[in-house]
Amino acid sequence: MLGIRMEKPNPQLQELAYKWKNGTLTPEEKIRFEQWYNSFNDEELLLSESKYVDEQQLKAHLKANIDQQLAQEVAQPKTFKLWPRIAAVAAVVLVVFGATLFKEPIQNLFNPVQQMQLATLPGQHRQIQLADGTKVWLSPATQISYPNAFRGHERQIQVSGEAFFEVKHDPEHPFVIQSGAMRTIVLGTSFNVRAYPAANKAEVTVVSGKVGVTAQQKTEIMTANQRVVFNKRTKGLVKENYPEAQQFIEQRIGLFNYNGASLLTVSQALEMQYGISIQLAPSLLNKAFYGQLKTSIPLPQTLDKLAAVMDITWHKDGKTYLLQPKNPNNN
């Protein structure tokens, strides 16, 4: 009986399989590959999706079938043909090292991936978990598009707005986020992406691990407490240190802590979180604020707290919220 070494598939077959997937087969190689591929039954691989719990069981099953066929041919030497046996061995080679190549298109045919869409409203925070175990915290006015199952070499999603990620580590399947012209690639880490369409800049801030960001054919690699800023007007991509990166862990659920930030900075954050417009009296622009604001609660409650701490008043004028000192003479 012929011996079959499952651990060492024919490297030529491996090369042809990869070329077939990438569409780089020459006409001669295509003929060779089609002859090889047509010599085995696709149903074996399809059945493996439900009948076998792992690759080893499938390999054992195929090997048993081949051994049985070889034994029958040995018993009938007059009808023994070498090529069908080679084709059978090639089928096992395909399963051993190339099953992943064919598994994806077959799965997509019988169980196609569905693209999911999710959007948060102004003032709304939401947490979701993706199919690979990655956790995502969506900030207000954010849209995310993601598949209900990850297949292929990359785990790709799209984000418009702001989101915090804790990516499930998988070095063989990079996690890729497309945010307009900015592309973020990670293997497993925690970071924040801020890419609102109406904003002039987009940012990626790393809390832990390592992240690569590409925009306009330029790439920057960041580690913890660093960020890149992409300027949509100049198309520039700049990396800088950002010691405050840890703040995004709390901001992902709407908690903003300020230690002397200007009221202008605070109001800009509130505008983004609630999707509103705030106008400050000139005397308030640089006034320092110390405290915590929770943007997951209704806007009036947040403004009331801010007014109490800062000794100011607020009222709504049309679509704009006006913040002024309690004593107008200080304006």
Count of residues in the chain: 331
Dist. CA 209–CA 261, nearest whole Å: 28
CA 117 to chain centre: 14
Give yes or no for residue 280 having a pLDDT over 70.
Answer: yes
Confidence band for 19, pLDDT divided at 50, 70 and 90: confident
Q: What is the 3-state secondary structure (H, E, C) of 172-183?
A: CCCEEEEECCEE
What is the per-residue pLDDT across 44-72, written as a single tens digit (0 to 9) for each? 333 333 344 445 555 566 566 666 665 66
The domain 115-245 is placed in CATH, from the list 3.60.20.10, 2.60.120.1440, 3.90.220.20, 3.90.1150.10, at: 2.60.120.1440
User: Fold identical between 115-245 and 254-330?
Assistant: no
- CA–CA gap between residue 306 and residue 292 (Å, rounded): 9
- What is the token pair recorded at 14? 């491996």
156 neighbors 181 (Cβ within 8 angstroms): no
Q: Domain residue spans in the chain?
A: 11-110, 115-245, 254-330
Average pLDDT score over residue span 195-222: 92
| pLDDT of 291 strictly over 80 | yes
- Determine the average pLDDT of the residues in 101-116: 69
Please check the confidence at residue 179 and state whether its pLDDT lies above 80.
yes
> pLDDT exceeding 90 applies to what percent of the chain?
56
For residues 233-261, average pLDDT: 94
Distance from C-alpha of 320 to C-alpha of 177, rounded to nearest angstrom: 34
**Residues 254-330, CATH architecture:** 3-Layer(bab) Sandwich (3.55)
